[in-house]
Amino acid sequence: MLLDLKVSDFAIIDNIHIEFTEGFNVLSGETGAGKSVLLKSLSLLMGGKAVSDSVRTGRSQALIEGYFDISHRADIREQLEMSGIETEEDTLIVRRVISSQGKSKVYLNGSISPLSLLKTIVSPLIEMTGEQAPLIEMTGQHDNKHLQNKSYHLELLDIAAGCNELRHNYRQAHEKVLELENQLEQLNGDEQSQAQRLDFLKYQADEIRALELKPGEEEELENKVKRMRSSAQLSEFVNLSQSLLSDDTDAALTRIDRVRDLSANMSKHDSELSQQAHLLDDAKAILEEWLFFLQKYSDHLDDDEASMDQAQEELSRLRKLQKKYGQSVEDILAQLEDIESEIDQIENFDLRREEIRKLLKEAALVRKNLATELHKKRQETSSQLAKSVNKELLDLNMKGLQFSLRVDSKKDFGYTGISEVEFLTQTSKSDTPRPLAKFASGGELSRILLAIKQVVGSGSQPRTYLFDEVDTGVSGETAEKVGRKLHKISQGQQVICVTHLPQVAAFADTHYLIEKSPNKKSVQMNVKSLNQKDRVQEVARLLSGEKITKTSLQHAEQLIESTEGH
């Protein structure tokens, strides 16, 4: 709901700050006090078009700022988060800045945002009717929540019919059909492009397979090239090692044999020497094993220059693959798996296409059944809704006006089904029903919305309702019924109503007075929240006009007291 509204340097508004409350908020004032200006500032919060001449004369810019509580609107919080806008403490601060040059800026929670996002976010929060303040210019899927739009007619009917779960199931089925249709369209795309893609993938796969890579191959190739480049030094090392260990007359193995013979001779003097003689045998075995390794190792050092060129070529090709497919051999092999998988999909094109067609046929049948069930439920509810709304309209002094709904079936499936719903009105039974959007006045729109909301309720998502001209052409008992219905609608959400009727104002939870005060240079509008004493004074003025009497004051007190608890 709208908690705070701040407006500065807008038209005749110098600087106002209104703290709205939950429930029924009433705005009243003398004719020409500036209520239309206030409502126009509210329409800007909802994405209305900004014009430069709305900036107060002599000022560089106008500012309109609204502070919303969105704690009960998870859908709005999700939209903000998806747009990268933080929602601390479940609040939304909307700021419109309009320059005298006609430029406009939008801020949502301090983040500069496009006007389209403002409409998407705020439009579902506020309903607005009446001719004095223009309706929001709708551009997006979620920007259609007002009484002159067929999409909103459908939404109200669905609330009355209790279609929420069925509509959700249908939407999921519809999205599944669209997804499968998109997949099939892609499969049925340019076959030449598919063939070119297949050739390219096969080229990539062959390029990778040619190296016959295995994990750890990069390190192995690098060592091989490094060894070949140092073969001369390594061969010298092998030869020297063999000489020192076995070939020389004074080699290590020869010395070990001499020590072994000496220890055998000495064992007759101490048996412990013979017991430990196996250590010399072990040392000799280790050295012989090392010599055997060197012999095999030297065989690899004899590789010719062609072998070295081949190893360097393999490493070079590996480096090229790394630039294309990944930093490591493991990455390249993983990329090969993906390529082979895509090749398989393209080569099994016909099989995949037939599978998608089968799934699409099944999904389309589910969607059709849900759409038919949804449409039938809407048709069944429409006549009962019209009957209940007409009963409410009689209470609102709209005798002769008949409300009805037209529920047609469309050929094409949409996100809400196959139903096209439109509200109709006729001035008499003999008159032809005509679209509500084209032939209802602002006051009629307000009271029709009031009647519908009385019957349908608010649904699961609380919002703010702005009523203007709801009191046109009513008085007395009818006016009291209008006030009572407005107060009932406001329970658990918020209603802001501009009224000239004391019977309506008496039901207010919070009452604000709009005043226009002239000064030497210009005219200025002020809005103030009324305490109990001031409220009685204002209701008395609405009852008797400018001349307030004791009788009108007493009548005002009685009127307010009679509405308490309602």
pLDDT at 309: 66
pLDDT at 233: 67
pLDDT score of 184 more than 90: no
Interval 542-549 mean pLDDT: 83
Tokens 């709208």 — which residue? 2
The DSSP letter of residue 55 is B
pLDDT at 349: 78
User: H-helix or E-strand containing 426?
Assistant: strand 417-426
Q: Is the full-model pTM beyond 0.75?
A: no
Tokens 């060592």 — which residue? 223
CA atoms of 289 and 245, how far apart (whole Å): 11
Residue type, 316: S
Residue 222 pLDDT class (50, 70, 90 cuts): low
At 225-275, the pLDDT tens digits run 666 665 556 666 767 777 777 777 778 887 887 888 778 777 777 777 777
Phi, psi for residue 512 in degrees, rounded to 5:
-120, 145
DSSP assignment of 122-179 equals: HGGGEEE--SSSPPP---STT---STT-HHHHHHHHHHHHT-HHHHHHHHHHHHHHHH
Q: How far apart are the first and last CA of the chain?
A: 21
Highest mean pLDDT among 23-32, 48-57, 434-443, 461-470: 23-32
pLDDT at 86: 84
Strand partners, 91: 69
Phi, psi for residue 409 in degrees, rounded to 5:
-100, 130
At 287-334, the pLDDT tens digits run 888 888 877 777 766 555 556 666 667 777 777 877 888 778 788 888
pLDDT at 156: 86
pLDDT score of 396 more than 60: yes
Residue 197 pLDDT class (50, 70, 90 cuts): confident
Residue 421 pLDDT class (50, 70, 90 cuts): very high
Per-residue b or e along 526-543, where b marks 16 or more CB atoms closer than 10 Å to that residue's CB: bbeebeeeebbbbbbbbb
At 128-166, the pLDDT tens digits run 544 322 222 222 222 234 667 788 888 889 888 988 899
- Rg for the chain, CA atoms, rounded: 43
493 versus 161: which is more confidently predicted?
Answer: 161
pLDDT at 316: 75
- Which range among 58-72, 174-188, 245-259 shows the weakest confidence by mean pLDDT? 245-259
- Which range among 41-55, 97-111, 379-393 shows the weakest confidence by mean pLDDT? 41-55
413 versus 328: which is more confidently predicted?
Answer: 413
At 549-562, the pLDDT tens digits run 888 889 888 988 88
Interval 51-62 mean pLDDT: 83
pLDDT at 420: 93
Contacts of 222 (CB under 8 A, 6+ apart): 315
Q: Please report, rounded to a whole number, the percentage of residues in the chain having pLDDT higher than 90.
A: 20
